[in-house]
Amino acid sequence: MAALILSVLHAAATETPAHADLDRGHRCATFQGCVTRGQLLEEPLDEGLVFRLAPDTYGWTIGVFDRARPDEDLAGIATPPYRGTNHRYLEGWHFRNQANTGPNEGDVNAPQRERGFAFVLTPADYRRAAAAVDTLLWGEHPQAEREQALTTLEGASRGHGTLRITAMTLGNLVPGAQAWFETLDLDAELCRPP
């Protein structure tokens, strides 16, 4: 049941490309950026939201935050899967084979140059979605409570984003190691409902 719930949520979070939202009156922001290893990128959006690429060991993590609550990742709670490889994680090893001896030609199951993600719109949406995800992922809960949590999560108003990697250089190209990003050029589009 949990796997089915997570696959339904994953499909709902990534089924609509952000550019299709323009036709439905959504407000969209587009921008380009370039980052080097270890560098933070932030792009202010309307209504107090901030798009963020936060650096980590192998690359960056996509996030959307309310300026007033920088510890609540509005994209992290709205973009399944909640365990394992996620489109929000941009890591160099996604683009290398398992042995790190050449490009990924399909032997590493990881997202590639286009990354779709969703984000809830407010801190209140974040708190409701976080409680629902906790109910769905952790502990033993009655079926009715799990179904209510799924309804709450599916009903949260969401924006959608797409990040496209337009150029990159990778480092740590040592056989048996994990590659990381040295540089990353991107363009992004984030759309919110009217």
The model's pLDDT over 108-118, given as tens digits with 9 standing for 90+, comes to 999 999 999 99
**Measuring CA to CA, how many Å separate 127 from each of 60, 79, 123?**
24, 15, 6
The residue assigned the tokens 């796997």 is: 3
pLDDT of residue 139: 82
Determine, yes or no, domain membership for 154: no
Determine, yes or no, domain membership for 148: no
Phi first, then psi: what are they for 86, rounded to 5°? Answer: -130, 150
Determine, yes or no, domain membership for 96: yes
The residue assigned the tokens 């140059």 is: 113
Determine, yes or no, domain membership for 132: no
pLDDT of residue 29: 95
Determine, yes or no, domain membership for 26: yes
Count of domains in the chain? 1
Phi first, then psi: what are they for 4, rounded to 5°? Answer: -65, -45
| Tally of residues, the chain | 194
Determine, yes or no, domain membership for 138: no
pLDDT at 6 over 80: no
**Measuring CA to CA, how many Å separate 179 from each of 6, 85, 99, 132?**
29, 16, 10, 35
- Cα of first residue to Cα of last residue in the chain, in angstroms, is 34
pLDDT at 19 over 70: no
pLDDT of residue 172: 98
Rounded to two decimals, the pTM is 0.84
Determine, yes or no, domain membership for 129: no
Domain carrying residue 106: 2-118+159-192
pLDDT band at 23 (very low <50, low <70, confident <90, very high): low
Which residues are registered as beta bridge partners of 189? 30, 162
Determine, yes or no, domain membership for 168: yes
The identity of residue 15, as a single letter, is E
Which residues are registered as beta bridge partners of 194? none
**Measuring CA to CA, how many Å separate 103 from each of 89, 100, 106, 125, 164?**
18, 8, 9, 40, 18
pLDDT at 16 over 60: no
* Best CA proximity match to 161, nearest among 35, 62, 86: 62
pLDDT at 14 over 80: no
pLDDT of residue 155: 85
